Chains A and B, each alone.
Chain A
Amino acid sequence: MPQSRLTGSRIRERRLALGQRQADLARAVGVSPAYLNLIEHNRRRIGGKLLVDLARELDAEPAQLSEGAGEALVAALGDAAARIEGGAPELDRVEEFAGRFAGWAGLVAAQARRIEDLERVVETLSDRLTHDPHLAASLHEVLSTVTAIRSTAAILAETEDIDPDWQARFLRNMREEAQRLSSSAEGLVTYLEAGAEARAMQVSSVDDVAAFVEAAGYHFEELEKPAVGEGDIAVMLDRAKTLRDRGARDLAHRMLVRYVSDARMMPLRALRTSLANTGGDPARVADGFGVGIDAVLRRMASLPAEEGTPARGLVVCDGSGTVTLRKPLEGFPLPRFGAACPLWPLYQALARPGQPIAQVVEMPGADPKRFLCRAVSIPRPAASFDAPPIHEATMLIEPVEGTDGAALGVGASCRICPRDSCTARREPSILGGRV
């Protein structure tokens, strides 16, 4: 369907829809059929009285013929029609519908969009059921337990001549399974509640900013130029569709202002040279540029992925441990909400302000992966007497090849961590790790 229609085309479309002959319509409005033909093929401009007459004869509003319905609305209705299997409604009259009943047409388009959104949610949840190993394992356990209970209960209820020893044995089995079911169900509910919380968070400002950062891979090419200013940041924020409210834009603005400041102090080329000369040591790079190590860690994470540059993840948290900036890295899951693994060097750094920490860590799994984490916490001086300093910790994450040598066993967060004997565990895992 064309996206832009001209007045003549609309007149022709409307006439054909009404089953009216060109000659009859021409006569009714007092022009020759040849002239109407030229109009209908957009070869003659039309307006004024003739347009009003044609609209009257075609039972339409003049504006409907001259302006058409909103293109976006017509396109949305077209999309809605395309989603109906087994025959779309009168597609040839979509513009007429949108023009004459704009409110209802808007409702149809909005409902179609809503259906599409809901289908995506269903798809996501379905994917989760299919691909989320934690959820699949928990559900499998629940169903296996229920099966054992159902089968055993049926035996006890339906077998009249059951031997007392068997009876006692089955009762014991049922008690065991009931306890197991209770813990599995509890774990599952906790996990699903966490999921619901995560979905709710998706509409929060913090999550909008996280999506914005994730989409850019924490690299903003437009802000790398030497003369970047507030105007460039404003343009970028205006264009960002993921930042849906003022709160999200304010948070993103603060993040980008710091990005620009880091980029000014350590331009890309100079940073790459310095990294090459120092063997990638953030402390020496910081010394060379006369900046804080936290700024170097952020800047290293912002380097675009290219040959020779390892993929890098970044996590920044405030003094409460809440993650305020994250750039995900494959194999190193960063919780979208709540607290992460307390063993992360990020939190060790928070406890030892000013002291940079480098630590190789290992994430659990069938194929455990190792990462070099470098973290530092730099307190911001108090703004006034008696005001507390503001702490913020920054951690750069880089993958490490192989599994030789010592590594600290960490996880993503306790709830989905399988490590059984972890002294830092604060809550049980749905995968069996106990407190």
Chain B
Amino acid sequence: MARQVLLIEDEPNIIEAISFILSRDGWSVATHANGETALDAVERHAPDALVLDVMLPGRSGYEILQDLRANPDTADLPVLMLTARGQKKDRETADRLGATRFMTKPFSNAEVLSVLREITDD
């Protein structure tokens, strides 16, 4: 059975492009665009990996990550954080809160695929 990745991102065309490349790579892709209800989406889909944007409507990716790490069910979930802010302090925040990997926009499709495989031990 294909492994599932949940993409939490609010830019429709980024969602479409990433979903397309992940699907072709054999992933089952679920998407969600709202920060406020992101934790419900994680619980509902129980994904094998999460791609999480930092700037989301309703709630930031950092807050979501913090809650994920505080929950024993999702404490070890591989999370790839995406952000348009690549400053040192953003990277440090992501590290501190327990992001598995951190990637700044714009990224390449190959990069996303390779990191996702890496963090899920593929």
Q: Which residues of A are interface residues toward B (Cβ below 8 A)?
A: 129-130, 136, 139-140, 143-144, 146-148, 150-152, 154-155, 158-159, 166, 169-170, 173, 176-177
CB distance from B59 to the nearest CB of A (A): 15
Flag if B55 contacts A151 (CB, 8 Å): no
Residue B96 CB within 8 A of the other chain: no
Flag if A147 contacts B107 (CB, 8 Å): yes
Flag if A151 contacts B18 (CB, 8 Å): yes
Partner of A147 from B85, B106, B110 at Cβ < 8 Å: B106
A177 to B13, CA, bound (A): 8
Flag if A170 contacts B17 (CB, 8 Å): yes
B84, B87, B107 interface centre (most CB from chain A within 10 Å): B84
The chain A residue with its CB closest to the CB of B53 is: A144
Q: How large is the interface on B (under 10, 10 to 19, 20 to 34, 35 or more residues)?
A: 10 to 19
- Residues on B with beta carbons closer than 8 Å to the beta carbon of A152: 13, 16-17
Flag if B11 contacts A144 (CB, 8 Å): yes
The chain A residue with its CB closest to the CB of B16 is: A173
CB distance from A154 to the nearest CB of B (A): 5
Q: Which residues of B are interface residues toward A (Cβ below 8 A)?
A: 11, 13-14, 16-18, 20-21, 24, 55, 84-85, 87, 105-110
Flag if A176 contacts B85 (CB, 8 Å): no
Given A148-B17, A151-B109; 20 other pairs, CB 8 A cutoff: A139-B84, A140-B84, A143-B105, A144-B14, A144-B105, A147-B11, A147-B14, A147-B106, A148-B13, A150-B108, A151-B21, A154-B109, A155-B17, A155-B21, A155-B109, A170-B17, A170-B20, A173-B16, A173-B17, A176-B13
CB distance from B9 to the nearest CB of A (A): 9
A128 to B21, CA, bound (A): 36
B17, B20, B87 interface centre (most CB from chain A within 10 Å): B17
Partner of A143 from B20, B84, B108, B110 at Cβ < 8 Å: B84
CB distance from A140 to the nearest CB of B (A): 5
Flag if B14 contacts A159 (CB, 8 Å): no
Q: Chain A interface mostly helix, strand, loop or mixed?
A: helix
Would you give 20 A-B contacts (Cβ < 8 Å), ordered by A?
A: A139-B84, A143-B84, A143-B105, A144-B84, A146-B106, A147-B11, A147-B107, A150-B106, A150-B107, A151-B18, A154-B109, A158-B109, A159-B24, A166-B20, A169-B16, A170-B17, A173-B13, A173-B16, A176-B13, A177-B13
A267 to B84, CA, bound (A): 56
CB distance from B54 to the nearest CB of A (A): 9
- Residues on A with beta carbons closer than 8 Å to the beta carbon of B13: 148, 152, 173, 176-177
How many A-B pairs with Cβ below 8 Å? 59
CB distance from B114 to the nearest CB of A (A): 13
The chain B residue with its CB closest to the CB of A161 is: B24
A147 to B16, CA, bound (A): 12
By Cβ-Cβ distance, the 5 closest A-B pairs, closest first, are: A151-B17, A143-B84, A148-B13, A147-B106, A147-B105
- Residues on A with beta carbons closer than 8 Å to the beta carbon of B21: 151, 155
Flag if A154 contacts B20 (CB, 8 Å): no
A7 to B24, CA, bound (A): 84
Flag if A130 contacts B17 (CB, 8 Å): no
- Residues on B with beta carbons closer than 8 Å to the beta carbon of A170: 16-17, 20
CB distance from A160 to the nearest CB of B (A): 12
Partner of A148 from B11, B55, B110 at Cβ < 8 Å: B11
Flag if B85 contacts A140 (CB, 8 Å): yes
- Residues on A with beta carbons closer than 8 Å to the beta carbon of B106: 143, 146-147, 150-151
A166 to B24, CA, bound (A): 13
The chain B residue with its CB closest to the CB of A152 is: B17
The chain A residue with its CB closest to the CB of B89 is: A130
- Residues on B with beta carbons closer than 8 Å to the beta carbon of A139: 84
The chain B residue with its CB closest to the CB of A156 is: B17
A146 to B11, CA, bound (A): 11
CB distance from B57 to the nearest CB of A (A): 13
The chain A residue with its CB closest to the CB of B15 is: A148
The chain B residue with its CB closest to the CB of A141 is: B84
A151 to B105, CA, bound (A): 10
A150 to B112, CA, bound (A): 13
- Residues on A with beta carbons closer than 8 Å to the beta carbon of B18: 151
CB distance from B88 to the nearest CB of A (A): 11
- Residues on B with beta carbons closer than 8 Å to the beta carbon of A166: 20
- Residues on B with beta carbons closer than 8 Å to the beta carbon of A140: 55, 84-85
A144 to B16, CA, bound (A): 13
CB distance from A80 to the nearest CB of B (A): 28
A379 to B117, CA, bound (A): 74
- Residues on A with beta carbons closer than 8 Å to the beta carbon of B108: 150-151, 154
- Residues on A with beta carbons closer than 8 Å to the beta carbon of B84: 139-140, 143-144, 147
- Residues on B with beta carbons closer than 8 Å to the beta carbon of A146: 105-106
- Residues on B with beta carbons closer than 8 Å to the beta carbon of A151: 14, 17-18, 21, 106-109
Flag if A155 contacts B20 (CB, 8 Å): yes
A144 to B17, CA, bound (A): 12
A154 to B106, CA, bound (A): 12
